[in-house]
Structure 1
Amino acid sequence: MIVTLPFDYSITKPFPRKYGFFLLAFAILSTAAFVTINVFLVGYDVISITTTHFNSAPGLGSKIWRSGGGGTFGCAPYKFQLGDIFRTTISAFSYSIFDVQSGLDANGTPIEGEFLYANEDLSTCDVHQYEISVKPGDRLITATASIKCPGPPGRQGFQALTSWSYSNHAMRIGSLVFPANSLARAIQEGMANISAEAYADIYNKLYTTVEGIPQHVYKVVAEGQPSCDSSPPSPCVVPNFTWYNAIGNTDLNILPNASSIAADEGNLYNVINVFYAAVRLDLGHWTPDNIFTNTTSFKRLIRDTDSTNTTFRDVATSKGMAYVNSTHPPPRRAAIQIPYTCNVMRRKPIGSFVVSVLSATLSMFLGTWGVIVTVLSFIVRKNPGANTCDSDTRNERSWKDEQRMNSLPLMSYM
């Protein structure tokens, strides 16, 4: 015996096939997307490192994520203070900061005695004044230059001092610490050769008076300022000293002028010329008239003296001092070589990396999957032929079904 119960529609109704394809595509694509996102979000840790490469060290992420130390990734500017010492990327000399312009920080608070530096180009820096001193009794020649650096927009400028000393004692940084083909090595050797010519006057005891009371000279100090053409290529020259003092050793009187002593003033002028050109190269001023690279400028600006080193002059006037030992031309940009604190990404250990990515991906997928299924179920229930009815329709169908049940047999026998 078979009992048949006729109903108007089936008890269950599956999702349409097109929804099944959509869910399959969503599962594949969303899983790939969530894995990719979570590799970045949970697969890496943000750590702080110290590096000399400002915003260019591995792990700093895309440039759009960096904000000069204010964001998640990137390097914080270095804070310099009065008395700090730095070297440039060419590294021929060291510089000591002796003056900082006053300014305001981001909150409008006055800043004095310090400034922030973020790998800015030093091409705006230049030699402002130079001085050379000779102490015959100490067997010492010292050249000093002050540089002035206007700050970039929103930053303070500063001034710094650098110097070079030559003696028959090992007082300076040896040129051998620099690679043989580096510009710093060529600068050091050029300075050593030209200073050796000037030292010959000390060695030959020429720092003595030639007029008045015969006496040795205690000290000679000469100063001046460079002169640069305002129009490109803006050649610069070292004019004659604007101030020259020779102090007698007996009575400490200041002698009338450079001609009052036997030593040749031209040797000091040569040292300052080479020193000036060297500092400008160290600051990134790779100008066509620089005597380290231009043999014509060397011949024109460096004077011949009785202590001329012909071997050195032959090389300097044929190859150029900067190309001794096949020197590689340096980059045209110079910056302060300083360590920065940077936030970078580092991948977790492989075990932690896999667990973190899979856990985060599964959590995101299940949450999104639940939302998608809920939305699709709501849409299906609203479509015609769905297995749900509103209250009025349900009451009407219940009444009609009851009438039909009373008029038709519910069961048939076979």
Structure 2
Amino acid sequence: MHDRGPIRTTCAYCGVGCGITAEVADGASREVSVAGDPRHPANAGRLCSKGTHLGETVGLEGRLLHPRIAGKRVSWDRASAEVAERMRACIAEHGPESVAFYVSGQLLTEDYYAANKLMKGFVGSGNIDTNSRLCMASAVAAYNRAFGEDVVPCSYEDLDAADLILLVGSNTAWCHPVVWQRIEKTRARRGTKIVVIDPRRTETAEQADLHVPIAPDGDIALFNALLARMHAQGLVDAAYMTAHVEVAPDFWDDLACDPGVDPEIFDQLCALVAAHPRMVTLFSQGANQSVCGTDKGNAIINLHLGWAVSTGSARAPSASRASPMRWAGARWAALPTRWPAISAFPRRNAARRRPSGMRLSCVRGRGSRRWTCFGPCTMAG
């Protein structure tokens, strides 16, 4: 392997999806040296402390180097034949729904595709899931509600052009250091303002221009109140919404609410949003992992759909899950209800297997690019 030179791959630690180059040393130790990939668009060669020391986690100690059956080493051909035969026997007796795959959120795109092609295309079952669901199920549902598919309208490049960045439920400086470095560079270059919305005063909040200390699960009320304030000030792009967004007739009637934070802090937030239309919102696990995580996502998306923006690239929100490691799972079908490229996978028991608490509302008009405002979103009980 090492004769080919450095291998370009992806760091599997967090969702940023940093590119790395890994090289295996000669000798029995097979030590791996890791460096940032300067050609990768996610990190341009930068690595955080975890990625820098990634090679130290690669070792042969405790690693299963050969397949075993009943504790005895066997060949790969024998092991593959054994697995295949047991799957065939199970399917023959109980049907394709008797087989299931549980795969990792750290798989690469090609791995996701191959595993899903085997399960859905060959076995004929949608029984495949990934540990990414814990992180991303609510965000997936929110994007499906708003846009008709799980698609994030922004990219990392939008951070470079933003005048205001909202970080919601994310201690970015600690959890996604490479993204934070990119935000800091943008701030130094163009004076970008940073707002952190988080119950905790994290290291990221310490370095922000404004910290909005909401109560736990206070995100929905805050974003509803913020959109209502923008609407009251005449800052909602009515022409855009008429042309591209489906809005319920009574959407605006009950949107205004108590933002749940100090009025002075809320006024500062409103002033920053009003003054900086080139705005990107990044929301992470503090928003996603909640019984009302889907409503939080839609409250954030609603703000960007309604907010009058002169540049289309900054109109809709970006999410920290929009990364190769996490989004590839959804894009290439690591969900029981999807084929690759987001298309729906039909299954008899889809309703029964849908995770409780997720509101997977269908959105009309995908072909016409009409999006939907949901709300006013309410807190889940």
| Short-chain TM bin | under 0.3
* Structure with greater proportional strand content: 1
Which has more radius of gyration? 1
Q: Highest relative contact order (Cα 8 Å, sep 6+), 1 or 2?
A: 1
